[in-house]
Chain A
Amino acid sequence: MGFLSNTLVVLLLVGGVWLARLVARDRYWRENATQLWRRRPLALITLALFLLIGVLDSVGWVGGGASGEDDVAALRSRTLIDRLFQPERFTEASYSAPLARLSFYGGQPLKHPGKHLLGTDILGRDVVYRACKGVRVALLIGGFTSLIVIPIALLFGVFAGYFGKRIDDAVFFLMTVLASVPSLLLLIALVMVMGRGTLQVCIALGITGWVHFCRIARGETLKLREAEFVDAARALGVSDLTIIRRHVLPNIAHLIIITFALSFTGLVLAETILSYLGIGLDGSWGQMIDQARNELSRTPIIWWNLAGASVALFVLILAVNMIADALRDIIDPRTRREGR
């Protein structure tokens, strides 16, 4: 597990660097990127921070736990975030308030007074630590799902749009059928049927979100197929696959990026609903919120669990929403014309 996630992180980082180089080389993307940075610096920094936490939480190795732990715990791989917070050393009594020094009954000093910035949950785990662990899950939901979905949707959508006829009919029918089922119900049905796990939830989210990408890719390809430069390429005898690679894909890339940014928030928010229904991902913010929802009615009120998870969720969603909004304004030629 540890090895797999380490390799994935390395692959993702390499992919990110490759993408950044691509962006830097192409004038169009470089201009858009600088404009995005100029418009939304705060949101981009926030997102980068979340990404950093996510990466730190994905790199881990075995060993270095507290002394006197059992064999199972000793063999578990610990990520950098785990090593930073060392949750096993600083477990407190359940529900200690933020920065509490004394216990509620009798005023006894706590085990780790003033150590927990946002208090602890029912099992005495640090809330800040749990919120940080949630970052990786959220990014996994939004990012990993899209990583599965976008290539498949592009393949289907572009081929349907480009070749038309039978392929288009088949893909269009598949899209209609999947789009006919209300997405939340389809999502629930898929998770119920496939079981509860990270990969299953991501696949379920992917199947539900796939149609949206595919429709956009198909529609745009239909338009591009009639474009003059595609005609010219065809007249010169360029093969279909080369036309798709060289002329179609670069021209729908911007739409895919916008759709990705827009659907990211939808995916993460959908997971909170799944968590409430008891079929969410382990360690997600949705699960934290779900566990904390009855704590508000305790006296004295326990608010820090709910606050920790929901503020983290809110900040990430807001940052991505802002970026998506700005991206759409920058890239989409329709809104661009309107702005001027």
Chain B
Amino acid sequence: MGAYLIRRVGYGLITVLGVLFLLFVLFFAVTDPDDIARKAVGERARPEVYALWKKNHGYDRPLLLNRAYAAGDSRRYTDTLLFDHYRRMLTFDFGNSDADDSLIARRLKEGMGPSLSLTVPLFAFGLVLGVLLALFVAFFRETYIDRAVLVLCMLTMSIAGLLYIISGQYLIGMLLKWFPISGFAFEPYLAGRFLALPVLVGVVSGIGADVRLYRTIFVEESNRDYVRTARAKGCGEVRVMLAHVLRNALIPILSNIVITIPFLFTGALLLESFFGIPGLGSLTVEAIQGNDFSTLRTMVYLGALLFIAGQILTDISYALADPRVRLT
């Protein structure tokens, strides 16, 4: 187990280094740092302002090799954009935003709370509702109820996420006036009122794909031998579904879900931006619209980091449950 653990974590670390290299290529080699600076200070800025901005944001170094130092000097390699990029990302020193010079780390800390307060209920409601609905459909498999729900799922899957948000805001927020259209508050009752609509819209827009996936898992499980045994010993169909199929189907369902948990932290891009929730999703959208490359870079890095961590955790829990995995 120990060797497997070390190997798995080691591969994860190498992947992180690979992701960082990808980010370096994208954000420093493909994008010219000069372009970033020009977008930040304006086309007509004086050369001094321009040079100062580049210096302050650490864009003034050469990419791979600093020829200002002699051949034997280690700073020839360390005083470069590549090395600096790796050093800062790996020590979580994200620096300042390219757009407004605010500390990125502080904005991340501020955005985490609102993001989680949206994504956690969204995740929980979506999971429970999806599993219940799928169980219901699997119970009536190969009947008209099954068909009808599957068609409904297909219809909901074919609508763009943007439309759910627009129509949700219009119908529930503007016409029915049940909940505020957008906004956020840290006080619990108000936050609940503000978050109700985005959670509702998010759950509805994601439910179709989930139900179809879970239903397939349930139906696959209910064709297994142990289900036939359970029926043979006289279990009712309800008991078979709830006690036998559901419990066994939870394993593939959970393994599908564990991987999405890290993304609860990065927030929901569209939902947050539309409903005015000051979370990390909004931060990303602002970064895109404001040409804020350093914030965007940080968000992509964090997203990848969380994903890799989630994957390692999934694999380890698999290894704990199944000894065969450890040996391969």
Contacts and interface: CB of A to CB of B under 8 A. Distances in A.
Given A272-B162, A318-B158, A279 B269 contact: no
Main secondary structure on chain A at its contact with chain B?
helix
Interface stretch (A9-17, A26-34, A189-197): A189-197
Given A181-B307, A273-B162, A286-B162, A188 B19 contact: no
Given A185-B284, A185-B300, A317-B158, A310 B163 contact: yes
Contacts of A243: none
Contact of A177 (B22, B26, B220, B299): B22
B266 interface: yes
A306 B166 contact: yes
Nearest to B20: A177
B304 A289 contact: no
Contacts of B11: 176
A276 B30 contact: no
Given A181-B304, A192-B288, A325-B154, A338 B22 contact: no
A180 B162 CA distance: 25
Contacts of B284: 185, 188
Contact of A181 (B27, B30, B300): B300
B254 to A, nearest CB: 20
Contacts of B161: 269, 272-273
Given A173-B14, A325-B154, 18 more contacts: A176-B11, A178-B22, A180-B19, A180-B308, A181-B22, A181-B307, A190-B26, A193-B26, A193-B30, A265-B158, A277-B289, A278-B288, A293-B166, A306-B163, A310-B159, A310-B160, A314-B160, A321-B154
15 contacts: A173-B15, A177-B15, A177-B21, A178-B22, A181-B19, A182-B263, A182-B300, A182-B307, A185-B284, A185-B299, A185-B303, A276-B162, A289-B163, A290-B162, A310-B160
Interface of B: 11, 14-15, 18-19, 21-23, 26-27, 30-31, 154-155, 157-163, 166, 170, 174, 219-220, 223, 263, 266, 269-270, 273, 284-285, 288-289, 291, 293, 296-297, 299-300, 303-304, 307-308, 311
Interface of A: 173, 176-178, 180-182, 184-186, 188-190, 192-194, 265, 269, 272-273, 276-279, 286, 289-290, 293, 296-297, 306, 310, 313-314, 317-318, 321-322, 325, 338
